[in-house]
Structure 1
Amino acid sequence: MTDDQTIPLDKQAPNNQSQNNQRPINGLKSQKAVPNASTSNNSASQSAAAKPAPKTNSTPEPQIKKVDIAIAGVTYPIYCPVHEQEELHSAVSYINNYALDLKRDAPSLSQESLLVLCCLNLYEKIHAHQRSDEDRVQGDKQSEALLNKIMKDAHSIL
């Protein structure tokens, strides 16, 4: 809550006008009114507070580009970092082909149902791939343990 109610109206008007012109960068209004006297006393601290802002902006931000993608005949606008566009197009191609295959099998599905089914099927594929990777790692560990045992037995015989 603001302290505007405790300041007489004739003193609020100039202060409120300056506050409306000085909105924070993030677009939110400040939560507490600042009296005119403290504004003039804090001008050095305000200029110091203004200096760190360029430091946060000095880091290069990735360039974002709007890309229209089409999946199963419907176009969607996507905002994508420029350096990821090629990967996005590859993903769109795979998903579009997958969705079109599903649509051939079930032509009466709505676009929303088609995309939900597509997501569920692709998740199942990803999960199966992860399980096979885990199984492969487990098999490698077992093979290594067996090989170590054979080598240990061979050394004990020699």
Structure 2
Amino acid sequence: MTDDQSKSIEKQPKNNPTPHSQAPSKGLPAQKSAQAGTTASSTVAKANTKTTNTPEPQIKKVDIAIAGVTYPIFCPVHEQEELLSAVSYINNYALDLKREAPSLSQESILVLCCLNLYEKIHANQRSDEDRLQHEKQSQALLNKIMKDAHSIL
């Protein structure tokens, strides 16, 4: 997801001539220029154009609304569903904040949303780290039990 329009513009192929192609000289018909050797470079330029025209991800402008304010977002088509899911979550949280504190500005609401999301992300990271630590401890304990069991047998 991105709201940077310049990225979508950068991905579009440019219609500038390639440095190898030559425009016909002033006063000379195109045939004479072609006879002068530009046919080969034009063919190379056309071949290069065909190989560089790889399909880029399609970017779509999506208008999203958070707490009553609409924002234009440029999003790859394949990420649109995820964007709308995120907007739904953030909008619900922002509307709850707005109901609890109607005097908050839109900027303050969004800052609080960001802080809340960071807190949730950080809590998930800690939870994952704790889970990994418990798995290591469990594996070590299981290995010790198996080693003791083998030594008894």
Q: Could you say whether these structures have the same fold, taking a TM-score greater than 0.5 normalized by the shorter chain as the test?
A: yes
Q: Does 1:25 align with 2:4?
A: no
1:87 match: 82
Question: Which of 104, 107, 115 lines up with 2:102 in the alignment?
Answer: 107
Q: How many percent identity over aligned positions? A: 80
TM-score by length of 2: 0.70
TM-score by length of 1: 0.68
Question: Which of 49, 56, 73 lines up with 2:52 in the alignment?
Answer: 56
Q: Which runs of 5+ in 2 are unaligned?
A: 1-12, 20-24, 26-32
Q: What secondary structure does 2:86 align onto? A: helix
Which amino acid letter does the alignment assign opposite residue 96 of structure 2?
D
Q: Using the alignment, how far apart are the partners of 2:73 and 2:131 within structure 1?
A: 37
Q: Which runs of 5+ in 1 are unaligned?
A: 1-23, 31-35
Name the count of aligned residue pairs: 126
The alignment yields a C-alpha RMSD, in angstroms, of 2.5
* Offset, 1:49: 3.3
Which amino acid letter does the alignment assign opposite residue 55 of structure 1?
T
Larger Rg: 1
Which amino acid letter does the alignment assign opposite residue 41 of structure 2?
S
Q: Using the alignment, how far apart are the partners of 2:43 and 2:107 within structure 1?
A: 52
Quick one: higher RCO (CA 8 Å, sep 6+), 1 or 2? 2
* Offset, 1:46: 5.0
